[in-house]
Structure 1
Amino acid sequence: MISALSGFALIGVIVLAGRLARSRAGLPADAEAVLGRLVYAVMTPCLLFTGVAEAELHVLLSEPLLVSAGAAFACFGAHTLLTRHGDRGTRIVGALTAGYTNANYIGIPVATYVLGDAALVVPIVVLQLLVVTPVALTLLEVATTGHASLRTTVTAPLRNPLIVAVLAGVVSSLTGVRLPAVLAEPIATIGSAAVPVVLLAFGMSLSGRPVLAPGPDRTATIAAVVLKTVAMPVIAFLLAAGLGLPRDAAYAVTVLAALPTAQNIFLYAQSFGTGLVVARDAIFLSTVCCVPVLLLIAVLFSR
């Protein structure tokens, strides 16, 4: 567990660097917005393409993934029912914060050092990239542009660089066709910068406004954090028990369900200009709160 906590420490240091840069480096007022657009349009598509192209798509067919997916969608739905006020874009972002797991930056070290197998987190990564992300981005596109025609709904994914990158990665994975090294290596290098830059932009957004400040977003944020760090692992455990998963598998899906909200949600909120406060506060609080939850799960399963 001590080794796994290094992932949290790494995130914390980069976020702190972003906050200090915003308050002391004399950056322009729109610095984090510019970083966000750069990550959204260039870095993250490269990261997604590389990740999906190298993924084993058959991992979507597994009982543990059914548990993880069931817990996630239950939390998406619960948040939508609990927070019926506010604009549609904010409600979509809020629902995502309640069930979209930080499977990469926190999930990989936790799967490696706590569960002993980094591959356990791969199915969740694939599910979120291939199913949740395209649907969520399409809904945000429709909600924020106000265009809900059939043509707009159908073509929205093809106008989104993240979804295009995922689809290209799927084609590469299924066909076995790989880009030549002269292209693949620069794409992978650019993609590797996405997470640190998102964390820097996230840290910048924390400067000047306290977390959980009074306002219409406070209830949605609290609901998201409780669902993500408490309800989701409980639901995952109950589903695992209902499917009769072995103890080790039940432990794994429960731990993975307790991971915090992914920083991707902040990127989506920033890109579409909606739900920024909910995304920022839920990511920060779920990252802090999941540490004692993970420790508690480890203690309970050790008995």
Structure 2
Amino acid sequence: MGGILTGFAIIAVVVAAGYVSGRLRIGGPGAQEALNRIAFFVASPALLFTVIADADLAELFHAPLLVQACAALATAGLFLLVHAARLRLTASEATVGAVSAGYVNANNIGLPVAVYVLADPTAVVPVILLQLLVLAPVTLLLLDAQTAGRVSWGFVLAQPVRNPIILGSVAGAVVSATGWSLPDVVLAPLEILGGAAIPMMLMAFGMSLHGSRPLARGTSRAATATASVLKALVMPVLAYLLARYAFRLDDAAVLASVVLAGLPTAQNVYNYAARFRRGEVLARDTILVTTVVSPAVLLTAALLLG
């Protein structure tokens, strides 16, 4: 338990440093975007490459991945049911809400949690690949069809190869599958770059908390509340039930399943909403609310199951 609390304390301190930096405008008005972009395009791909290259691929794709997929689809489906009964959103807004309820922040928050709480950085890799290779293209396909009245397959299919996170993951998978042994002159710089990913992501997240005002008047509060409750509370409970009773996983795997399901809504969802200019406020507010609530959910899960 001491290790779990220490892990959360480490994350909290770095996030707080980012918040203070944003409040004091250290680095200027573009610091948050710069940290996010460097982490996304340089450090995170390097981190995922080194993690996956050193992992056993057969161990990445097992029952816990099915737990995450089932829990995500179930919560997204529940949002659509509530939408049909009460919310009455447009089709594209309903898509954004459903994705907000089931798409976890496996990169920015998931990687630090996997490192410091689960002590296993590979635990989050299957979720990252599932979301980027399957859920993201499906989301883009739906929004493209709903907003344009047609499907641009070229735009959708190009997303995986244009995403540096996917490219780094695939390259690492190739190295792992082939058993290549990379020379130190190649591996050492990537390990250094990858080591910068988590601090930059956490500090950028802390900066994003400064000045945010969720649930302002005139926004879709009911939809945000629905997506937030489903994401922050219902999805971890579903993951627990699936892991414990449907897949009968061991205690460590149950904890990992619940912790990963308890991660907040990913910032990618806002990027998708902004790309099509639909449901942007809904995505932004859900991300912020679930991000604020997530530490309490994760800590509770760790205390009960750890």
Question: TM range, normalised to the smaller chain?
Answer: 0.7 to 0.9
Q: 1:140 to 1:46 in 2, by over 3 A?
A: farther
Q: Give the total of aligned pairs.
A: 287
Answer yes or no: is 1:261 the counterpart of 2:263. yes
Which residue identity lines up with residue 4 of structure 1 in the other structure?
A: I
SS at match of 2:180: coil
Q: Measure how far apart 1:14 and its partner are.
A: 1.0
Which residue identity lines up with residue 127 of structure 1 in the other structure?
A: P
Q: Which residue of 2 aligns with 1:301?
A: none
Q: Which residue of 1 aligns with 2:131?
A: 132
Q: Measure how far apart 1:197 and its partner are.
A: 0.6
Q: Measure how far apart 1:172 and its partner are.
A: 1.2
Q: Which residue of 1 aligns with 2:44?
A: 44
- Pairwise mapping of residues 77-226 of structure 1 onto structure 2 (< 5 A)? 77-79=77-79, 81-82=81-82, 85=89, 90-91=96-97, 94-97=100-103, 103-112=110-119, 118=120, 122=122, 124-139=123-138, 143=143, 148-210=151-213, 213-214=216-217, 216=219, 218-226=221-229
| Matched-pair identity in % | 32
| Structure-2 separation of matches of 1:242 and 1:150 | 39
Q: 1:182 to 1:267 in 2, by over 3 A?
A: farther
Q: 1:221 to 1:56 in 2, by over 3 A?
A: farther
| Structure-1 separation of matches of 2:11 and 2:216 | 23
Q: Which residue of 1 aligns with 2:295?
A: 287
Which residue identity lines up with residue 112 of structure 2 in the other structure?
A: Y
CA contact (8 A) 1:39 1:198 kept: yes
> What 5-or-longer segments of structure 1 have no aligned partner?
113-117, 299-303
How much is the aligned-residue C-alpha RMSD, in angstroms? 3.4
CA contact (8 A) 1:18 1:199 kept: yes
Which residue identity lines up with residue 295 of structure 1 in the other structure?
A: L
Deviates more, 1:8-17 or 1:208-217: 208-217
> What 5-or-longer segments of structure 2 have no aligned partner?
275-279
CA contact (8 A) 1:18 1:204 kept: yes
Q: Which residue of 1 aligns with 2:277?
A: none
Deviations 1:93-134 (A, max 9, x none): 61344585954322344435xxxxx5xx74x42321322222
Q: 1:41 to 1:60 in 2, by over 3 A?
A: closer
CA contact (8 A) 1:76 1:98 kept: no
| Structure-2 separation of matches of 1:150 and 1:197 | 34
| Structure-1 separation of matches of 2:177 and 2:50 | 13
Q: 1:190 to 1:148 in 2, by over 3 A?
A: farther
SS at match of 1:177: coil
| Structure-1 separation of matches of 2:100 and 2:248 | 31
Q: Measure how far apart 1:205 and its partner are.
A: 1.1
CA contact (8 A) 1:97 1:224 kept: no
- TM-score scaled to structure 1, two decimals? 0.77
Q: Which residue of 2 aligns with 1:55?
A: 55
Q: 1:96 to 1:48 in 2, by over 3 A?
A: farther
CA contact (8 A) 1:36 1:271 kept: no
Q: Measure how far apart 1:44 and its partner are.
A: 1.2
Deviations 1:160-195 (A, max 9, x none): 211111211121111112432111111111111111
Deviations 1:180-239 (A, max 9, x none): 211111111111111111111111111112455556364455444433443233323332
CA contact (8 A) 1:7 1:109 kept: yes
CA contact (8 A) 1:45 1:162 kept: yes
Q: 1:78 to 1:139 in 2, by over 3 A?
A: same
Equivalent in 221, 238, 241 of residue 241 of structure 2: 238
| Structure-2 separation of matches of 1:106 and 1:213 | 30
Deviations 1:137-168 (A, max 9, x none): 43566658979422222222111211111211
CA contact (8 A) 1:19 1:207 kept: yes
Deviations 1:34-85 (A, max 9, x none): 2211211111111121122122111245344433442243234434554674
CA contact (8 A) 2:232 2:297 kept: yes
